[in-house]
Amino acid sequence: MSAVPSAKPAFDVLDMRNYALEKLPELPAGIWAKRLKLVGLPIAILVFLYFHLQWCGPIGMYDAQTKIKPATLLYSATGLFLASLILWITEALPNYLTSLIVIVATVLVGLMKYQDAFAQLGQPVMILNIASFIMASALVVTGLAKRLSLFLVLKTGLSLDKMFWAFIVINMILGAFISATSAKTALTLPIFMVIAASFGATGGDKRNGVGRNMVLQNLLYNNVSASAFLTGSAANLLAAQQLEKAGAAVPYASWMMALLPLALIQCAIGWFSGTRWLLPIKPEDKTPKLEGGIQRLKDEYAKLGRISNAEIRAGIVFLVVLALWATDTIHGIRAEVVAVAGACAVLLPSVMGLPRFGVVKWDDADIPWHMMMFSWGAYVLGAFVDSTNIVGLTMDSLFKTWGITAATPKVLVFFVMALIFGLTTLVSESKTARTVIMFPILIATAKSFGWDILGFCLPMAFMINQVYVLYYNSKPANISYLTNQYSMWESFKFGIVQLLVITVLLVFWAQYAMPLMGFKSQLW
């Protein structure tokens, strides 16, 4: 007699474990993405050879002593710059591999000495990134990040509006330390998915305004919070490095002072416009449909038990480091030094029989080395772009062609640049690649017109992380789409409105708010 197969357990929509990232289905690449990957590599090679072999025509006489045409390196730099962007945007090769190829090619072509290229790995922003990931691991491993998230949500009771604001606060707190937006998604997604299920939004044909807003609002908060802090994303650090090389260093406190209030304003606009207008929540959907939803969150919180000594120590490091970062203009200690000191604190073992202060071991530190390699290549690329000034020369030529002069209203140039920067999120998933492209252009534009570099470019940094309109615009957007809580049109409708609103708002913020903080950013 054959054994009766056991019935498959029913899917529990209130079980937080069901919303772990590894349990979400994988979204296959679209036909155009596949085609781009297929043609990206040969196009990149052809573009590089076109410039490097000077097929673009005569470029001057040979130098009598070196036997090298004067513009040879300039053309080679242009070819390598464009080829690397093609590879990054099409993702024909893994991003980290493209970066390593860029490093090798930079040395072989003669754009940089190998010592200078390899030295980019030790850039202060690279160290800041690594140390930030170590400290972020302490928040996750000890459970402090989860405890804080659950605590804030449970304090809202059953008020949906309070819950949305709780998630705004959660994302802002996590954004100060966790530069990987996908990591923030992993932390918060199970919580807001249980809330959505409690209000009857379980996906597919059971979508409603609560589920749509829970997912899309959190996607917005996740990315916008990354803009509020210098350490919010690796692309922010790249932008800061390029500004510092241009003689316009931006301290952690200055970045936060200029952009954190704007981040809160954008989140508030997203909450109001989404829940009231774009993705309205019907009155009947505001009542919980499934019993035990909030209780599940309470049970999950109860499982954490009393706050542990490790959580307390991690929290102390978190607060001290954040306080030192926020006051770096007062005490003068660079953010990188503070970050490394914080990393040392959370890694500190037991010494001389004293109780252990550290809360993680090196193996616990979740450092995405593939992203570090990607950043290394981006810094090398930025270094030879800066030394050859290929972007500045190109922009000067374009300005002359388009008839843009010093008499052109600054506000018009600013708005067009911000709009272009924002709309590029629709075609590129890589924030770092977009920053590599746009920030040299922004800096070159400011220099061309004699404008204050920091006043013109720092507000533009707010556009780096506006990557939430379509599912392929970022990893969190991809993950959010897999929850099946909304349609592509709903995502586009909500996202494009937020993108256009913040682009317009940025003009007024640069004109009226930032000068009050000491920035020379008046646009008219």
The alpha carbon of 105 is separated from its chain's Cα centroid by a whole number of angstroms, namely 27
* Predicted pLDDT of residue 11: 66
Name the one residue in this structure whose structure tokens are 């659950």. 150
Confirm whether 17 is domain-assigned.
no
Q: CA angle, corner 423, sides to 421 and 425, nearest 5?
A: 85
- Residue 422 one-letter amino acid: G
Total structural domains in the chain?
1
* Predicted pLDDT of residue 502: 97
* Predicted pLDDT of residue 69: 43
Confirm whether 243 is domain-assigned.
yes
pLDDT in tens, 80-129: 988 998 898 788 898 899 999 999 999 998 888 999 999 999 888 889 88
Burial class (CB in 10 A: 0-12, 13-18, 19+), 115: exposed
Q: Which two three-digit tokens encode residue 147?
A: 């405890």
Do 73 and 108 touch, CB atoms closer than 8 A? no
Confirm whether 391 is domain-assigned.
no
Distance CA 17, CA 19 (A): 5
> Mean pLDDT, consecutive 10-residue segments, the chain of 524 residues?
55 77 70 81 93 57 42 78 87 90 92 90 88 90 92 88 95 89 89 91 89 96 96 92 92 95 98 96 88 84 93 94 92 93 93 82 88 88 80 76 81 93 83 87 91 95 94 88 92 96 97 93 84
* Predicted pLDDT of residue 30: 66
Confirm whether 204 is domain-assigned.
yes
Distances (CA, A) of 272 to 223, 264, 277, 279: 17, 12, 8, 10
Distance CA 345, CA 484 (A): 41
Eight-class DSSP state of 7: P
| 317-326: long-range contacts, CB 8 A cutoff, minimum separation 24 | 317/135, 317/138, 317/342, 317/345, 317/346, 318/135, 318/138, 318/139, 318/144, 318/177, 321/135, 322/176, 322/177, 325/176, 325/230, 325/231, 325/252, 325/253, 325/256, 326/252, 326/253, 326/256
Confirm whether 149 is domain-assigned.
yes
* Predicted pLDDT of residue 29: 64
pLDDT in tens, 128-179: 889 988 998 999 899 999 999 999 999 987 789 999 999 999 999 999 888 8
Distance CA 479, CA 65 (A): 58
Q: Which two three-digit tokens encode residue 330?
A: 């007062």
- In sequence order, which residues have a C-beta less than 8 Å from that of residue 256 and are 6 or more positions away? 228, 229, 230, 325, 326
247 backbone φψ class: left, alpha, beta (φ>0; ψ -120 to 50): left
* Predicted pLDDT of residue 9: 58
Crossing angle for the helix pair 335-347 and 309-326, nearest 10 degrees?
170
Confirm whether 457 is domain-assigned.
no
Distance CA 521, CA 505 (A): 14
Distance CA 401, CA 407 (A): 15
DSSP structure string for 368-391: -HHHHHHHHHHHHHHHHHHHHTHH
Do 380 and 101 touch, CB atoms closer than 8 A? no
Do 491 and 470 touch, CB atoms closer than 8 A? yes
Q: How much is the pTM?
A: 0.87
Do 270 and 164 touch, CB atoms closer than 8 A? no
Domain of 288, in residue numbers = 125-364
Backbone angles phi, psi at 467, to 5 degrees: -120, 70
Confirm whether 171 is domain-assigned.
yes
DSSP structure string for 23-77: GSPPPPPPHHHHHHHHHHHHHHHHHHHHHHTTTT----PPPTTT---TTHHHHHH
- Residue 222 one-letter amino acid: N
> Residue 412 in 3-state DSSP?
helix
Crossing angle for the helix pair 124-141 and 234-245, nearest 10 degrees?
160
Largest CA distance in the chain: 95
Residue 193's nearest CA partner among 210, 172, 173 is 210
The number of CA neighbours under 13 Å toward the Cβ of 455 is 22
Q: Which two three-digit tokens encode residue 193?
A: 């998915």
Confirm whether 293 is domain-assigned.
yes
